């Protein structure tokens, strides 16, 4: 069984996806309140920031331009063989192609190990294959919660090529939101409440604002490491 398909087609993910309503237009470009100590995280208010504090992290410039080039060099030939997928009714992601990769060049393995080292406490069981998602300029990721069947409490992703905005929306109260500015070569980490109690999405061109400022979308590749669910 390939985790890629399990992750993307799980009923849990669908339920989360189709259970969530579209964003009210008034939220677009709302400045929000900054999470203290981070200029890449803003939220709808102090309570929601308190809730996700320590569970949402964005590290700018986590990888160098050279490390980004090295990752792209390994990924582009694989991705280029695939076609972008649009308009599948059942997809959480629009305008994308993807792959998963278990074996990496030595330099890329070192980069990914650095991601794992900061995202997961030592000994955390992790999904072996790394998920690589290539979203076209016109593509986007709709609100969803990663399947609890295939993904544990931590999701860590590198963003390559383009800046974007990831929005978390509380499943309990849709007016509680947190926006993450994901600059090129940054790393984001979602843990615990941020991963389980909020949907996450990557905003499409035209809706892509952070703190009231437009973040122009281009093609974006993410490289995502996940922990495994505990098998109690
Ligand atoms: C996903 C997802 C986020 C990203 O594939 O489930 O939410 O950074 N990806 O691409
Ligand atoms: Mn996801």
Cα 228-171-58 angle, rounded to 5 deg: 60
Q: Which of 5-14, 25-34, 66-75 has the highest mean pLDDT?
A: 66-75
If we measure between CA atoms, which residue out of 179, 158, 154, 182 comes closest to residue 169? Answer: 179
Specify the pLDDT at position 27.
Answer: 61
Mean pLDDT of 97-126: 97
CB–CB of 158/63 below 8 Å?
yes
Cβ of 141 closer than 6 Å to ligand 1, yes or no, is yes
Mean pLDDT of 193-220: 96
- Interval between CA 156 and ligand 1 midpoint (Å): 9
Mean pLDDT of 44-56: 95
Cβ of 68 closer than 6 Å to ligand 1, yes or no, is no
- What is the rounded distance in angstroms from the CA atom of residue 136 to the CA atom of residue 216? 13
Query: 79, 200, 203, 225: which to mutate for ligand 1, most atoms within 8 A of CB?
Result: 200
Specify the pLDDT at position 91.
Answer: 80
* C-alpha distances out from residue 87 to 6, 54, 71, Å: 19, 36, 28
CB–CB of 140/201 below 8 Å?
yes
Specify the pLDDT at position 151.
Answer: 96
- What is the rounded distance in angstroms from the CA atom of residue 117 to the CA atom of residue 111? 10
Residue 72 has pLDDT above 60, yes or no: yes
Reduced to 3 states (helix: H, G, I; strand: E, B; else coil), residue 41 is strand
Residue range 144-170, pLDDT digits in tens? 999 999 999 999 999 999 999 999 999
Mean pLDDT of 198-217: 96
pLDDT band at 35 (very low <50, low <70, confident <90, very high): confident
Nearest CA to ligand 1 atom 4: 222
Residue 16 has pLDDT above 60, yes or no: no
Cβ of 59 closer than 6 Å to ligand 1, yes or no, is no
CB–CB of 220/159 below 8 Å?
yes
Cβ of 16 closer than 6 Å to ligand 1, yes or no, is no
- Interval between CA 112 and ligand 1 midpoint (Å): 16
Cβ partners under 8 Å of residue 27, min gap 6:
177
CB–CB of 59/186 below 8 Å?
yes
- Interval between CA 32 and ligand 1 midpoint (Å): 23
Specify the pLDDT at position 189.
Answer: 98
If we measure between CA atoms, which residue out of 43, 3, 12 comes closest to residue 144? Answer: 12
Say what the pTM is: 0.89
| 159, β-bridge pairs | 222
- Interval between CA 105 and ligand 2 midpoint (Å): 25
Where is 16: in which H helix or E strand?
helix 11-19
Cα 158-115-3 angle, rounded to 5 deg: 70
Percent of the chain with pLDDT over 90: 79
pLDDT band at 19 (very low <50, low <70, confident <90, very high): very low
Residue range 82-111, pLDDT digits in tens? 999 987 667 899 999 999 999 999 999 999
Specify the pLDDT at position 54.
Answer: 94
Specify the pLDDT at position 22.
Answer: 46
Q: Average pLDDT of the chain?
A: 88
Residue 11 has pLDDT above 70, yes or no: no
Specify the pLDDT at position 23.
Answer: 46
Which tokens sit at 28? 């677009």
Cβ of 222 closer than 6 Å to ligand 1, yes or no, is yes
- Interval between CA 29 and ligand 1 midpoint (Å): 22
Specify the pLDDT at position 29.
Answer: 65
Cβ of 157 closer than 6 Å to ligand 1, yes or no, is yes
> Nearest bound ligand to CA 96?
1
Q: Which residues surround ligand 2, an ion (CB under 5 A)?
A: 146
């Amino acid at each position: 069984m390939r985790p890629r398909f399990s992750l993307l087609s799980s009923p849990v993910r669908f339920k989360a996806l189709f259970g969530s309503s579209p964003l009210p237009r008034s939220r677009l470009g709302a400045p929000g309140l900054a999470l203290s100590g981070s200029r890449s995280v803003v939220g709808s208010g102090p309570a929601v920031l308190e809730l996700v504090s320590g569970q949402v992290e964005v590290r700018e410039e986590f990888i160098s331009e050279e490390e980004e080039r090295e990752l792209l060099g390994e990924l582009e030939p694989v991705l280029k063989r695939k076609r972008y997928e649009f308009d599948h009714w059942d997809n959480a992601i629009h305008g994308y192609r993807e792959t998963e990769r278990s074996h990496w060049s030595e330099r890329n393995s070192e980069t990914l190990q650095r991601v794992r080292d900061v995202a997961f406490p030592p000994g955390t069981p992790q999904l072996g294959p790394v998920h690589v998602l290539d979203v076209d300029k016109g593509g986007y990721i709709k609100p969803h919660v990663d399947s609890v069947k295939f993904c544990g409490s931590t999701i860590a992703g590198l963003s390559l090529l383009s800046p974007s905005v990831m929005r978390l929306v509380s499943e309990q109260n849709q007016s509680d939101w947190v926006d993450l500015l994901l600059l090129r070569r940054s790393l984001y980490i979602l843990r615990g409440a941020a991963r389980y109690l909020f949907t996450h999405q990557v905003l499409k061109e035209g809706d892509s604002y952070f703190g009231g400022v437009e973040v122009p979308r281009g093609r974006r590749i993410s490289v995502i490491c996940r922990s495994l669910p505990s098998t109690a």
